[in-house]
């Protein structure tokens, strides 16, 4: 994202409503006045849905109104996002913003909304690390060995993902670009893991929570994690960046609201969400998801989104990724 859209987005994230302090405080104190809907653009049961429900329960207890999850799957989260964009900007409809939203900003050329313009950043929630893993039939045990093997067998390795434009897909495409290797992307509409375990596909940039038990059982071989630093849960596994400097590809979740939502409401939500992320019980529940808390101010979360849109736009264009 470049030029006026990026500047406008960051300005919205940092701006304060031009109202007297007493008026702003009064409006914040009366919020929420009715149940609050958190729209999740994915089906129930996955880690994004679970993360949203954890915070919904926390906010319900803290703000004395029900916060509930409304699953609106479809079109790679775009259906749910559009529902929030069109909602009243009064803080009673929120979006679980995902890394997919940053990819979709470039991947889909016909969206009826502009994510950076139409969604105001509220708060970060969590990061979900990925791991580059291979079927044991692949002889490589390190990233350099894998790159050498892939270059010796161009187009012979199949890279699985759960769909075009998801974090596992773009993480793999970024690897292909930076390593200069040719792998065939195989997107699945259902879970690709059974075929990876069976060797029908050879490599995947999967989430750590979904992979950890197969890795521990020796059914999949981890080569590297995609985060900027090594992970506590897999301390002996290097990062991709140790071999390809600058590589990083992590799933993330946070909260957004329709553009125009009063700043005092955004800041109240941010304060309460960050309090939840600092709570010991909440931290343990997030750790059980294999994720890390991601507390941020609205400005910081806005910058993350802007940076991610810009980063994945380059990958989408270089890899010539087209939506399904």
Residues 212 and 311 in one domain: no
Give the model's pLDDT for residue 107. Answer: 96
- Domain assignment present for 323: no
Does pLDDT of 11 surpass 90?
no
Residues 135 and 212 in one domain: yes
Give the model's pLDDT for residue 17. Answer: 45
Residues 180 and 80 in one domain: no
Final residue of a structural domain among 197, 224, 242: 242
Give the SS3 label for residue 285: helix
Give the model's pLDDT for residue 92. Answer: 98
Give the model's pLDDT for residue 46. Answer: 84
Is the separation of the CB atoms in 135 and 228 below 8 Å?
no
Tell me which of 7-21, 243-257, 304-318 is least confident.
7-21
Residues 70 and 118 in one domain: yes
DSSP per position, 310-323: HHHHHHHHHTT---
- Domain assignment present for 324: no
Give the model's pLDDT for residue 29. Answer: 74
Tens of pLDDT, residues 102-112: 999 999 989 99
Final residue of a structural domain among 222, 242, 262: 242
Final residue of a structural domain among 242, 273, 305: 242
Residues 26 and 95 in one domain: yes
Give the model's pLDDT for residue 3. Answer: 62
Is the separation of the CB atoms in 283 and 46 below 8 Å?
no
> 290: pLDDT confidence band, cut at 50, 70 and 90?
confident
Domain of 182: which CATH number? 3.40.190.10
Domain of 16: which CATH number? 3.40.190.150
- Domain assignment present for 287: yes
Is the separation of the CB atoms in 155 and 128 below 8 Å?
no
- Domain assignment present for 280: yes
Mean pLDDT for the chain? 92
Give the model's pLDDT for residue 97. Answer: 98
Neighbours of 253 (CB within 10 A): 22
Give the model's pLDDT for residue 22. Answer: 46
Tokens of 95: 């979006």
Tens of pLDDT, residues 158-186: 999 999 999 999 999 999 999 999 999 99
Residues 121 and 135 in one domain: no
Residues 19 and 39 in one domain: yes
Residues 21 and 160 in one domain: no
How many domains, the chain? 2
Residues 189 and 176 in one domain: yes
241 or 14, greater pLDDT: 241
Tell me which of 25-29, 128-132, 181-185 is least confident.
25-29
Residues 276 and 161 in one domain: no
- Domain assignment present for 115: yes
> 275: pLDDT confidence band, cut at 50, 70 and 90?
very high
Residues 258 and 120 in one domain: yes
- Domain assignment present for 256: yes
Give the model's pLDDT for residue 14. Answer: 58
DSSP per position, 19-77: S-HHHHHHHHHH--SS-EEEEESS-TTSHHHHHHHHHHHHHHHHHSS-EEEEE---GGG
Residues 115 and 105 in one domain: yes
- What is the model's pTM? 0.87
Is the separation of the CB atoms in 215 and 206 below 8 Å?
no
Tell me which of 38-47, 214-223, 238-247, 273-282 is least confident.
38-47
Task: Give percent above pLDDT 70 in the chain.
Answer: 91
Give the model's pLDDT for residue 45. Answer: 87
Q: How many helices (H) and strands (E) are present in the chain, helices listed first?
A: 13, 11
Give the model's pLDDT for residue 240. Answer: 98
- Domain assignment present for 42: yes
Task: Give percent above pLDDT 90 in the chain.
Answer: 82
Query: Crossing angle for the helix pair 78-85 and 99-107, nearest 10 degrees?
Result: 90
Task: For residue 175, give its domain range.
Answer: 130-242
194 or 289, greater pLDDT: 194
- Domain assignment present for 85: yes
Give the model's pLDDT for residue 16. Answer: 45
Tens of pLDDT, residues 200-242: 999 999 999 889 999 999 999 999 999 999 998 899 999 999 9
Does pLDDT of 79 surpass 50?
yes
């Amino acid at each position: 994202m470049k030029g006026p859209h990026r500047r406008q987005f960051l300005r919205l994230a940092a701006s304060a409503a031009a109202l007297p302090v007493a008026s702003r405080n009064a409006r914040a104190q009366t919020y929420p006045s009715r149940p609050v809907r958190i729209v999740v653009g994915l089906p129930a049961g996955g880690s994004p849905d679970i993360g949203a429900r954890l915070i919904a329960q926390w906010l319900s207890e803290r703000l004395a109104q029900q916060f509930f999850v409304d699953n609106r799957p479809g079109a790679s989260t775009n259906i749910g996002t559009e529902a929030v964009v069109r909602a009243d900007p009064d803080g009673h409809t929120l979006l679980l913003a995902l890394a997919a939203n940053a990819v979709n900003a470039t991947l889909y050329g016909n969206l009826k909304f502009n994510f950076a313009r139409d969604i105001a950043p509220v708060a970060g929630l969590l990061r979900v690390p990925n791991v580059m893993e291979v079927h044991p039939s692949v002889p490589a045990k390190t990233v350099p060995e894998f790159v050498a093997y892939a270059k010796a067998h161009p187009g012979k390795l199949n890279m699985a993902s759960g769909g075009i434009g998801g974090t596992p897909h773009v993480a793999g495409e970024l690897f292909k670009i930076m390593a200069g290797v040719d792998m065939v992307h195989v997107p699945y509409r259902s879970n690709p893991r059974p075929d990876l375990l069976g060797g029908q596909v050879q490599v995947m940039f999967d989430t750590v929570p979904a992979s950890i038990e197969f890795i521990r059982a020796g059914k999949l071989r981890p080569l590297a994690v995609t985060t900027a630093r090594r992970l506590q849960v897999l301390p002996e596994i290097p990062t991709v960046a140790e071999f390809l400097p600058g590589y990083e590809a992590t799933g993330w979740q946070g909260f957004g609201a329709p553009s125009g939502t009063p700043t005092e409401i955004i800041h109240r939500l941010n304060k309460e969400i960050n309090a939840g992320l600092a709570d010991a019980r909440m931290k343990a529940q997030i750790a059980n998801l294999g994720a890390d808390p991601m507390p941020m101010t609205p400005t910081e979360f806005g910058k993350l989104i802007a940076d991610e849109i810009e980063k994945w736009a380059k990958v989408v264009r270089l890899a010539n990724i087209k939506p399904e």
